[in-house]
Amino acid sequence: MGSKLNPIALAIPFFFLLIGVEVWVARRRGVRVYRLNDALADLGTGVLQQVFGLALRAFTAAAYVAVFDRFALTALPPDSVLTWVACFLSVDCCYYWFHRASHEVNFLWAAHVVHHQSDEYNLAVALRQSALQPGFSWVFYLPLAILGFPPLVTFVVIAFNTLYQFWIHTRLISRMGFLEAVLNTPSHHRVHHGRNPQYIDRNHAGMLIIWDKLFGTFEPEVEPVIYGITRPLRSWNALWANLHPWKDLIGQVRRTPRVLDKIKLWFMRPGWSAPETIAPEPGYYAALDDPSFDPTADRPSRWLATTVFVLATALALCLIAGLVEGVWAGIAGVLIAAALAGVGVLLEGRARLPGLSFRREP
Ligand SMILES: [Zn+2]
Ligand SMILES: [Zn+2]
């Protein structure tokens, strides 16, 4: 599926424009909402998701069409306003359950957690997405195919739902008055990204906060939010960001003694552990007052990281636009992943290159 049918890819220039606006407004207010290392890691995962999602999107779209063609109870008219309104509400409800399941089932969390790994909260975090998550999310929308929502209507509404969620990733908008009652707002979604105990696994909404209020997962923003996760990534490597959660889950399986519990673990809530599970290494959990992960890379490392990131993104855009195809697309995908992993190593101050210092402060 090319970029013409992928509104998210088409919106990339607007994402960067709004990130620029956020940086500008933050500067004027004298607050710092971005760190270069964190932002490049966020955007790197977004690039990986778009690149590796190319094949996946074609498959998931075909699956929806196949279910619609074979099992739809009826075919709702795409030219009726009622169809669109019903689809809007249904997609948002499906998104809520997909998102909630992603927080409450270990193997789904291993994919979704990428979105929550940042200690920051800004528009770049909105683009921090798992490359594997699109492999799971589509299943949650299949009931819509059976209910008779035409593929094009559903795809457009899902894209709109995803795009909506971009702007709410900001600390610069505090409260939005009466809109807070119905819409998912920056305040509600800040709570969702918090690791304060009362904020964990709350506010799973996409566009409408009503689902959280209806199904008992709503929490208002009261205490200042501490962003991030309880088992931190501690890396700027976008490729590792996607692999680390699976290594973590496999590590938990290894520490679980009984075979049945090992299987059960994949489907249990994150944080669940079977009796007699071996304790993890010290430092596995982050304390609430732990400082953010912020190793210092020297200036040449930062410049080289930024340059490599821009080149990798340019290659990714060529791929998304369909300018690179066949075996070359595969090679480009590997190159992009390797380059973004390299960006992470540079930003962590671990690069071993002549002319660059290896400074990294704890
Ligand atoms: Zn989430
Ligand atoms: Zn978010």
- pLDDT of residue 338 exceeding 70: yes
User: What is the 334 CA–ligand 1 centroid distance (Å)?
Assistant: 28
**Burial class of residue 280, CB neighbours in 10 A (0-12, 13-18, 19+):** middle
User: What is the 192 CA–ligand 1 centroid distance (Å)?
Assistant: 6
User: What is the 255 CA–ligand 2 centroid distance (Å)?
Assistant: 31
Question: CA-CA distance, 12 to 51, in Å (whole number)?
Answer: 13
pLDDT for residue 357: 59
- pLDDT of residue 2 exceeding 90: no
Point out the ligand nearest to the CA of residue 124: 2
User: What is the 109 CA–ligand 1 centroid distance (Å)?
Assistant: 9
pLDDT for residue 55: 80
Point out the ligand nearest to the CA of residue 118: 2
Question: CA-CA distance, 28 to 172, in Å (whole number)?
Answer: 11
Point out the ligand nearest to the CA of residue 113: 1
What sign has the CA pseudo-torsion 156, 158, 160, 162?
A: negative
Strand partners, 194: 227
- pLDDT of residue 362 exceeding 60: no
- The arithmetic mean of pLDDT across residues 74-78, rounded, is 97
Nearest to 142 by CA among 69, 36, 209: 69
Q: Which residue has the higher pLDDT, 174 or 297?
A: 174
- The arithmetic mean of pLDDT across residues 101-126, rounded, is 98
User: What is the 221 CA–ligand 2 centroid distance (Å)?
Assistant: 15
User: What is the 170 CA–ligand 2 centroid distance (Å)?
Assistant: 10
User: What is the 103 CA–ligand 1 centroid distance (Å)?
Assistant: 6
3-state secondary structure of 194: strand
Q: Which residue pairs from 351-354 have beta carbons closer than 8 angstroms and sit at least 24 positions apart in sequence?
A: 351/297, 351/301, 351/304, 353/304
User: What is the 356 CA–ligand 2 centroid distance (Å)?
Assistant: 35
| Per-residue pLDDT band at 148 (split at 50, 70, 90) | very high
CB of 149 within 8 A of CB of 83? yes
User: What is the 105 CA–ligand 1 centroid distance (Å)?
Assistant: 12
Point out the ligand nearest to the CA of residue 126: 2
User: What is the 99 CA–ligand 1 centroid distance (Å)?
Assistant: 6
| Per-residue pLDDT band at 291 (split at 50, 70, 90) | confident
CB of 58 within 8 A of CB of 327? no
Nearest to 304 by CA among 335, 348, 334: 348
- The arithmetic mean of pLDDT across residues 120-135, rounded, is 96
List, in sequence order, the alpha helices (H) in 120-232.
Answer: 123-126, 134-137, 142-147, 151-167, 186-192, 210-215
User: What is the 206 CA–ligand 1 centroid distance (Å)?
Assistant: 10
Point out the ligand nearest to the CA of residue 99: 1
Q: 233 Cβ partners below 8 Å, 6+ apart? A: 117, 240, 241, 244, 293
Point out the ligand nearest to the CA of residue 128: 2
